[in-house]
A and B are shown apart, each in its own frame.
Chain A
Amino acid sequence: MDLNTIWFSLVAVLFTGFFFLEGFDYGVGILLPFLGKNDTERRMIINTIGPVWDGNEVWMLTAGGAMFAAFPNWYATLFSGFYLALFLMLAALIVRGVAFEFRSKDPSPAWRNMWDWAIFAGSLLPALLWGVAMTNLLQGVPIDAQMEYVGSFWNLLSPYTLVGGIAGLLVFILHGAIFLSLKIDGEIMERARQKALAAGVLAIPAVLLLAVLSYTQTDLFAKAGAGAVLIGSLMALVAAYLLLSRGKPGWALVANGLTIVCYIAAIFWGLFPRVMVSSLNPDWSLTIYNASSSPYTLKVMTIVALTLVPIVLAYQAWTYWIFRRRVGPKNLEY
């Protein structure tokens, strides 16, 4: 395996980690105004992700940084090409991050309500846009011979990418609802489970449709392995639903996590060795070779990443261990 392939894999791993972790805290954020009937409940819901959401978000920033360092042309084409979508996502993330911190700092119900909706919108928009973005990578976008995106914002929206966005959103809501049913105590636990089942009922056909469209609209199934992993993603989702309905939320979270992992793996497998597909001419696609940094930079960054990633994983795991207990209404200080 050459360094370019290693870095392609590492970016895929960072995105997988990001969607796996931030997936449930997007879901929790989206469910917040609907599940939390009063202030205490809403505070409890936020506290389930309070200690970890910031660390989860850094997975995305690291994925972005890794793209910049290892594949500068990918970073440049993607972020200048998806400009307005990225602007919307950044605005949402700004509002969301601030909302977590500001929300409880003033007792006025109007203030808290405003920030709760900010958390909702700030979670919904990125959850939706990431699904659109990922499917766009695979479906292909107008990229010219100079690696420049020559479409508009509207080029990013096709039936396939919209289904990608909605399917991603539903899987994240499911992820968040299962997580909540595991992490919270009292009455909301059951309500979260109900929401999870409802999200599951919607997510299964959405992901099925996504798989079908991936077959008709992209070349993902040209690689048998990538196709199989995508089917695996659908099966994991069905398993998550069944486990949930049989009262095994812990395993349901694992299964739904597998849905996310398999889906991202399928996308990146389908892409490889391309990183962005040009819809204008296959030769103009960005690949792990024409988009990459020099061998020297890749080597330096490989050493850095192989040293630091295990350390990061260790202390993030420790954090989840420290906060492993359920959040209940008692001792919830304001």
Chain B
Amino acid sequence: MDQLLLARWQFGITTVYHFLFVPLTLGLSILVAIMETIYVRTGNETYQKMAKFWGKLFLINFAMGVVTGIVQEFQFGMNWSGYSRFVGDIFGAPLAVEALAAFFIESTFIGLWIFGWDKLSKTVHAATIWLVAFATNLSAFWILVANSFMQAPVGYVLRNGRAEMTEFFALLSNRHVWYQFPHTVLSGFTTAAFFVMGISAYHLMRKNYSDFFRRSFRLGLIFGVASILLVSAVGHFQGQYLTQAQPMKMAAAEALWESADPAPLAVLAIIDEQNQTNSAEIQLPGLLSFLTYNKFSGEVKGIKEIQAEYETEYGPGNYIPPVVPVFWSFRIMVLAGVLMAILALYGLYLQQTGQLENKQGFLKAMLWAIPLPYIANTGGWLMAEIGRQPWIVQGLQRVEEAISPAVSTGAVLTSLLGFTLLYGVLAVADVYLLSKYAKQGPEEKILDDRVGTSKEVSLWT
């Protein structure tokens, strides 16, 4: 095992693990904010209970998202100092802006929300959770501005042996961000919707707090149908864009070795990376051209041709990412997405025809569907990041040039094992608490963190 491989594993593990918690935060913050707003506007206490019940689950999840995010910020310096020196001029900026513009709001106002129920007016209290929701999603934007630079660098010039920023606005208007950001955020909304629907379905099956969970389910359903349809649509256009921006990634996602016109879509394939060929393929003729150009013809470049082009452009080397994981993570993402769309639309039909609570099978399916968005999110990131290989910054820096020369293999191994072990233990505690509170329902005292105040004593006595 060498340092590079270990550092890559560490990046993969910390990123995937962090992103198990982030999507739910993105969407659930908004759902809780909506619930509390309905409460403030109508005075209906069920919605306050909803905000508190779902808010509690939100907080358990949120804590994990925050602490794993800290590692994300520092591991660029720890494991990837070559990268940090080379693109820090550009990459550091969105991270710093994220901390200043988003993370501060999020962390300050979440404290106000948790502890402020009896200290703030109803409206101001509802505003705090909206600020958390806004900042969380804004945070995602800045992180994706940074990530998009790795996928499709813009607004820079190579000078003084590094990439230097020439136009900050170009980073913000990077086309890559404007596909990746909605796709990511909407998949977060979808995650939250399925989380809320799944837990609500669990209680609806058992006829617990039916009114409470009927309303929760309905909110989740509306949010979910809109999100899953939009995320699919964005994903389609994002794929078309990526065919131009990162053709190698898309060719790998299709395991398309040879250029083809019209290009078929491989539904399933057994991929032989060694000999650069597939066997036992199930293909839909012309469909890849259709997905790429909205018509059944048009050339889609294959891996071999792109490899030859890259060799001309960047010199000899292997520019082919690991095809098998990219191909399958893409399919897993799409399949999970399709299943979610079917479930959400069928749920909408049941809801509209008033049959929802009689369909035990469907409710059970919705409970079991909670992992689906997590699978899709993970598949999406694996495709995005593995498909970028061997580049750390597309076309500018290769991964092996990016590592920290000063760090020993033993040090990386130590931290890799340490973080992984810690993450494993915390995941158990997190799932234990989430399922405990999800099962318990809304009647327990919800917020245990309220501050008791006895008398007014100023700080200066």
Contact = CB atoms under 8 A, between A and B. Distances in A.
A195 B296 CA distance: 77
Contacts of A304: 96-97, 100-101
A77 B81 CA distance: 7
Contact of B111 (A78, A293, A319): A319
B93 A69 contact: yes
Given A68-B96, A297-B90, A332 B111 contact: no
B345 to A, nearest CB: 36
B88 A333 contact: no
Given A79-B74, A328-B452, A62 B422 contact: no
Contact of B68 (A61, A94, A150): A94
Contacts of A328: 452-455
Nearest to A93: B70
B448 A105 contact: yes
Contacts of B459: 182, 250, 253, 324
Contacts of A106: 433, 436
Contacts of A322: 112, 116, 119-120
A57 B107 contact: yes
Contact of A75 (B77, B411, B454): B77
Interface in B324-379: none
B41 interface: no
Nearest to A72: B88
B318 interface: no
A146 B404 CA distance: 12
A73 B85 CA distance: 5
Interface stretch (A83-91, A129-137, A158-166, A202-210): A83-91
Contact of A79 (B81, B405, B457, B461): B81
A146 B82 CA distance: 11
Most buried by B among A68, A251, A253, A304: A68
A44 B67 contact: no
A76 B70 contact: no
A61 B103 contact: yes
- Give the bracket for the number of chain B residues in contact with chain A: 35 or more
Contacts of B110: 54
Contact of B74 (A64, A104, A305): A64
Nearest to B165: A297
Interface stretch (B31-39, B178-186, B242-250, B412-420): B412-420
Contacts of B230: none
A87 B418 contact: yes
Which of B76, B84, B419, B460 has the largest number of chain A CB atoms within 10 A? B84
B403 to A, nearest CB: 9
B436 A330 contact: no
A102 B97 CA distance: 29
Contacts of A54: 66, 107-108, 110-111
A320 B105 CA distance: 14
Interface residues of A, number: 84
Given A55-B108, A294-B89, A297-B89, A185 B103 contact: no
Contacts of A300: 93, 165, 168
B453 A325 contact: yes
Contacts of A148: 81, 405-406
Contacts of B79: 80
Contacts of A113: none
A146 B411 CA distance: 20
A57 B99 CA distance: 11
B285 to A, nearest CB: 49
A154 interface: no
Interface of A: 44, 47, 50-55, 57-58, 61-62, 64-70, 72-73, 75-81, 83-84, 86-87, 90-91, 93-95, 97-98, 100-102, 104-106, 146-150, 153, 182, 185-186, 250-251, 253, 293-294, 296-297, 300-301, 304-305, 308-309, 312, 315-316, 319, 322-334
17 contacts: A51-B114, A58-B108, A69-B88, A79-B74, A87-B419, A91-B419, A105-B448, A147-B85, A149-B406, A293-B88, A293-B164, A301-B93, A305-B100, A325-B453, A331-B452, A333-B452, A334-B448
